[in-house]
Structure 1
Amino acid sequence: MLKIFLRQNIVVLILLNSGNFCNYLFQVVVGRALDPAEYGSLNSLAALLSVIMAPASVMPVVFAKFTIELGDTARIRNLISTCMKGMGLIALVVPVGATLFTGTAMGYLKLTEPTPYLIMLLNLSVALLLPPMWGVLQGLSRFTYFGVASAGAMFIRLAIAFVALRLFGQGINAALSAWTFGLIFELAISALALRDVMRVPAAPLPAGIFRRMVRFAIPALASTTMFIFMWNVDIILARLYCSPYDSGLYANAAIIGHIALFLPAALVNVLLPHVAKAHKEGLSGGGALAASLALCVVLSGGFCLLCLIWSEEIISLLFGAKFIPAAPILQLLSPAMALLSLCNVLINFSMARNRFSFIKVLALGAGLVPALVYAFHADGRTIALIMLGVSALILAGITLTLTIEERKQA
């Protein structure tokens, strides 16, 4: 079983990190085409999209877990069709409602025109349809389809952005529109991957399944939302408290530093369904946790070391000399993201086993970041230092909580 787990991890790591590579090339293209203020606006909108999407981001976890629990294809088909109808309605209502706050968003994000915000809302509408499909694909162990959809979306976004920004000199609106086409591709491939499931006649779902899904989703939603908040809120706060130029530098350092978080992030897509299945069979899943943590240390730690030694060279290579002043920020954010990557593994391991005692620690961290930034925001480096300290606190707290929980179960 561990061999299958490692093989699936290799497939997902290759595909999703190919997508991440395209994502960072996309950031290089737009970073070189836009000035720091425009680049800060683009990534503030991206961070805002991630925060708004946070409630929906728990759905892959929920659907993966309950796809494994249902097992039967006919019941899974019923689950998908029922939930996609609801998500379709949400995908229409939420972005349309958000247009009422266009003026407020423009002022908060320091935008000079509404178009970037409106394109972001279009992206939100498409993105809201994806999480249930992701969860079912993971629950069915269709990691190749899942990886191809994600990597392909990133490649399309990169290709369109390169043509629009580098060859035709377009700006932030073109970069956001490239994002739209990538999301549409990902939606199409995900639907294609589930076409055999959707052809099966639907069977009745077990009584009370939605109640159990909600009971699991509430703490999972809280933890996922707070975790996404943790690695996005600093960009928004930097935009709020720093000058447009300084916030652009911070966004640049954050984009590079996030590699330490995203490089091993694919591991949890395999870890959660694997541990959930093991838990269903009465096994601990400890071997999968150890393997995931070891891979995480190698991947995140290795990248973090590169950033500590060659921060200026990495920034200059990727984004040009104009962003070199972001180097001190990168040297703090990369280890902060590496620590959060370890937290991510522990969080998903616990959720797969229906344990949520770590939420109090995560809530403390999510509250500390804006509070400390509000009190201390002299520059981007100060905000990055706060992120590093809070990330270390969260990892220590979650590790302690998990250790105490395991001893009680022994």
Structure 2
Amino acid sequence: MSDFRQQRRRPADRYAVQLDLAQGRGVLLRAAGPIALAVAVQSAGNLAFHALVGRLLDPAAYGALGAVLAAMVMLGIPLGALQTAASAHAAAHGAGRATTLRCLRAVALWTLPAGLVTLAGAPLLKSYFHLAGLGEAVPLAPYLVVAALLATARGLLLGDQKVSTVAGSYLAATVVRLGLGVALTVPFGVAGALVATLMGEVAALATAARRLTGRPDPGPGARLRPRAVGGAAVAVTGLFLFSTADLLLARHHLAGTASGAYVAAATVAKTVLALPAAVMSAVFPRLTAARDRPGRARTLRTAVAAVSGPALLGAVVVAAVPGLVLTLLYGDEYAGATTLVRTLALVAGVTSVVTVLTNAALARHSRATWLPWAGAALEVGLIQLWHGSPLVIAACSAAALLPTLIVVAATEIRAWTRRVPAPLDGSHLAEGVPA
């Protein structure tokens, strides 16, 4: 007998399910709230940092700084994989002192060679980015190692449901970066601004590690495996390509003005994914913990509501007043891109559903994490065939999104609604809320 029929025949059970769902949503929203607020503050702090440093440096120096910071941003893909893998690891094994030290030691051993290679290549970076001196290229090497350790520490905290500490690490990084940014940029220029960015990450790592190393493990601790990071990298990279392929190809196929319009519209549209991405990092460990437990379908529904709800709401708001948003951010030159903004905002909002479902596949170690790669390949193929205007490229992006969403939704709904035997001791009833 299906769960649905059982609920119809037993009103008390149906009420309990509704109560659990409401409570589960409250738990997820309370968990995601602090990190969403912290990421919003960090985003505002990043804009303030650029505004302050941009005024202290001349345009040529600011351009050099922007190039190195862009290289740091590109590390977001492997760092996202590290954080996701560490989050799943902590959800399964806990995150006490021994586990934390073993995980951080492993990540340090993995990233130290890359840091040394980057350090040795500082003269090449100086030449490629047209930097004024080696001091402007050297900070990238320690940043790589520190950022990897920080991503791992944040993932362990999220998996252990210490979301407030993660939020505190974002705030610590923002405060230190802003304070040192002004203090070091004046005497040291670009190198000072980069050191301020590095020290912000160090402050965040210290905030995260202090909480992680304060509690002992019940056992010897578990080490993070490269295979787990590789699995997370498949999902993270696939989602990145799926959500940005259109932007990269638009720059290639469109003329200067049309390309600028697409970049502006896509930037506006994809801002609706910033905060939901932060919420997803808090939701993922709960999906991991719930994957083999009764009530997991409720956890998935709650995750979709918590992550995609704000994204879809933001998309609707942007689609309702695209002209106003474009004028405020870019001026009257882009006023003609309102239809493009509308289309891309709605695509971004729906893409958030694919993001949640792909993370659900990752939580249950499914090969369905490859589906965004297939969606990205379809998107690239369509745009290669049809790219006559910005709206045509946006339509190709939407056309690739629809089948990808249908397939990943069908796969995950089937998997997460498959009945799981309840524990004989009835412990799941005592918890009252999904994991």
Q: Please confirm whether the aligned pair reaches a TM-score higher than 0.5, indicating the same fold.
A: yes
Shift of 1:134: 1.6
| Amino acid in the other structure paired with 2:233 | L
- Distance in 1, matches of 2:110 and 2:273, equals 28
- Picking from 50, 54, 62, the partner of 2:77 is 54
Q: Does 1:257 align with 2:272?
A: no
Shift of 1:129: 3.7
The match for 2:18 is none
- Distance in 1, matches of 2:229 and 2:180, equals 36
Q: Does 1:333 align with 2:348?
A: no
- Distance in 1, matches of 2:182 and 2:388, equals 35
Which digits, 9 at most, give the CA deviation of each residue in 1:51-84, with x for residues without a partner? 5542332111211122233236232233233224
Secondary structure of the equivalent of 1:377?
Answer: coil
After superposing on structure 2, the runs of 4+ consecutive aligned residues of structure 1 that deviate more than 6 Å are: 24-32, 39-48, 97-103, 155-165, 199-203
| Amino acid in the other structure paired with 2:361 | S
C-alpha spacing 1:53/1:305, structure 2 compared with 1 (3 Å):
closer
Contact 2:104 2:152 in 1 (8 A): no
The match for 1:189 is 204
- Distance in 2, matches of 1:385 and 1:47, equals 29
C-alpha spacing 1:367/1:29, structure 2 compared with 1 (3 Å):
farther
Shift of 1:227: 0.6
C-alpha spacing 1:371/1:25, structure 2 compared with 1 (3 Å):
farther
Secondary structure of the equivalent of 1:128?
Answer: helix
Shift of 1:162: 10
Q: Does 1:321 align with 2:332?
A: yes
Q: Which moved more, 1:220-229 or 1:292-301?
A: 292-301
Matches within 5 A, 1:371-382: 371-382=381-392
Matches within 5 A, 1:76-225: 76-93=99-116, 95-96=118-119, 113=130, 127-151=147-171, 153=173, 181-182=196-197, 184-198=199-213, 204-205=220-221, 210=224, 213-225=225-237
C-alpha spacing 1:273/1:23, structure 2 compared with 1 (3 Å):
same
Shift of 1:361: 2.2
Secondary structure of the equivalent of 2:276?
Answer: coil
- Distance in 2, matches of 1:191 and 1:368, equals 43
CA root-mean-square deviation: 4.3
Shift of 1:89: 0.7
- Distance in 1, matches of 2:137 and 2:112, equals 19
Which digits, 9 at most, give the CA deviation of each residue in 1:336-395, with x for residues without a partner? 11111111112222322x232423421211212333333333343333322222223322
C-alpha spacing 1:183/1:345, structure 2 compared with 1 (3 Å):
farther
| Amino acid in the other structure paired with 2:335 | I
| Amino acid in the other structure paired with 1:355 | H
Secondary structure of the equivalent of 2:366?
Answer: coil
Considering only CA atoms, is the larger Rg found in Structure 1 or Structure 2? 2
Which digits, 9 at most, give the CA deviation of each residue in 1:226-255, with x for residues without a partner? 112222333333333334544333332222
Q: Does 1:405 align with 2:415?
A: yes
| Amino acid in the other structure paired with 1:188 | A
- Distance in 2, matches of 1:265 and 1:26, equals 22
| Amino acid in the other structure paired with 1:315 | L
C-alpha spacing 1:74/1:51, structure 2 compared with 1 (3 Å):
closer
Secondary structure of the equivalent of 1:264?
Answer: helix
Which digits, 9 at most, give the CA deviation of each residue in 1:147-193, with x for residues without a partner? 2333554577789999999xx9xxxx96x986773454134223223
The match for 2:313 is 302
Contact 1:267 1:292 in 2 (8 A): no
Secondary structure of the equivalent of 2:109?
Answer: helix
- Distance in 1, matches of 2:335 and 2:193, equals 27
| Amino acid in the other structure paired with 2:376 | A
| Amino acid in the other structure paired with 2:41 | S
The runs of 5 or more residues in structure 1 that have no matched partner are 33-38
C-alpha spacing 1:182/1:101, structure 2 compared with 1 (3 Å):
closer
C-alpha spacing 1:189/1:70, structure 2 compared with 1 (3 Å):
same
Which digits, 9 at most, give the CA deviation of each residue in 1:207-238, with x for residues without a partner? xx55xx34433332211111122223333333
The match for 2:17 is none
Q: TM-score, normalised by structure 2?
A: 0.72
Shift of 1:25: 7.1
C-alpha spacing 1:72/1:334, structure 2 compared with 1 (3 Å):
closer
Q: Does 1:291 align with 2:314?
A: no
| Amino acid in the other structure paired with 2:253 | Y
- Picking from 12, 22, 30, the partner of 2:35 is 12
Contact 1:65 1:273 in 2 (8 A): yes
The runs of 5 or more residues in structure 2 that have no matched partner are 1-22, 56-61, 421-435
| Amino acid in the other structure paired with 2:356 | V
Matches within 5 A, 1:22-41: 22=45
Q: Does 1:275 align with 2:298?
A: no
Shift of 1:320: 2.3
- Distance in 1, matches of 2:102 and 2:67, equals 35
Give the share of equivalent positions with the same residue, in percent.
20
C-alpha spacing 1:124/1:251, structure 2 compared with 1 (3 Å):
farther
The match for 1:35 is none
Contact 1:129 1:187 in 2 (8 A): no
Matches within 5 A, 1:346-357: 346-352=357-363, 354-357=364-367
Shift of 1:257: 0.9
| Amino acid in the other structure paired with 1:356 | S
C-alpha spacing 1:155/1:191, structure 2 compared with 1 (3 Å):
closer
C-alpha spacing 1:286/1:18, structure 2 compared with 1 (3 Å):
farther
Contact 2:297 2:416 in 1 (8 A): no
The match for 1:226 is 238
- Distance in 1, matches of 2:367 and 2:40, equals 31
Contact 1:44 1:235 in 2 (8 A): no
Shift of 1:398: 0.7
